[in-house]
Chains A and B, each alone.
Chain A
Amino acid sequence: EVQLVESGGGLVQPGGSLRLSCAASGFTFSSSPMCWVRQAPGKGLAWVASISASGGSTYHADSVKGRFTISRDNSKNTLYLQMNSLTAGDTAVYYCAKGNTFGDFWGQGVLVTVSS
């Protein structure tokens, strides 16, 4: 059974940092491109970042470029999102998803709240 479990969310002050993790199981993680998608409260979905299976190629939305970094550790079957210089506009549920074009399986999400 495919499982994606996000962690690392919480309340952070503007300008702060957080690192999200996504633990994967039930499929060959090292062969799967992955991505992060976020959803602001009561709003729609927005792609954040994608990474190739090897980790050698990464792509970030313009809205997070230079502040967020997607990475992975295939030895630990884990996907990461390092988020720096957070603003209120980054408040959202962050989902990790399997795939880097469309997401064929999604985790349950983790809430990130940026507020003073």
Chain B
Amino acid sequence: EIVLTQSPGILSLSPGERATLSCRASQSVSSNYLAWYQQRPGQAPRLLIYGASSRATGIPDRFSGSGSGTDFTLTINRLEPEDFAVFYCQQYGSSPLTFGGGTKVEIK
């Protein structure tokens, strides 16, 4: 089973700043099959990125994903008030599908 470790656990930033979130895998993620989700309080997760760097439909271009192998990054440029939430990475390159523990982006 691939274990995904997200860091930091909590990121305190101000609106307009850039957020950089990390997701590290315990072994290489096949074909860079890595997704990122945003979950606002009381809401369902929303797909942001798949295939490590492809934005999902309707996702603003201030969200970008990068990385390969075992190290992946989600970058959010110019944080908007609605961006403050918990973010999860997920690998789907091998079974079982696994998620990281999440990074909370909070308002500083």
A residues lining the B interface (CB < 8 Å): 35, 37, 44-47, 50, 59, 61-62, 95, 101-109
Asked if B72 CB lies within 8 Å of chain A CBs, one says no
B residues lining the A interface (CB < 8 Å): 33, 35, 37, 43-47, 50, 56-57, 88, 90, 92, 95-102
Q: From residue B42, how far is it (CB to closest CB) to chain A in Å?
A: 9
Bound-state CA distance A97–B47 (Å) is: 10
Interface of B, helix, strand, loop or mixed by DSSP: loop
Name the contact of B88 in the complex, choosing from A35, A45, A109 (C-beta under 8 A).
Answer: A45
Pair A105/B100 contact, Cβ less than 8 Å: no
A47 with B99, Cβ < 8 A, contacts A95-B44, A101-B33 known: yes
Pair A105/B96 contact, Cβ less than 8 Å: no
Pair A46/B44 contact, Cβ less than 8 Å: no
Q: From residue B10, how far is it (CB to closest CB) to chain A in Å?
A: 14
Pair A44/B101 contact, Cβ less than 8 Å: yes
Pair A45/B45 contact, Cβ less than 8 Å: yes
A107 with B44, Cβ < 8 A, contacts A44-B88, A45-B88, A45-B90 known: yes
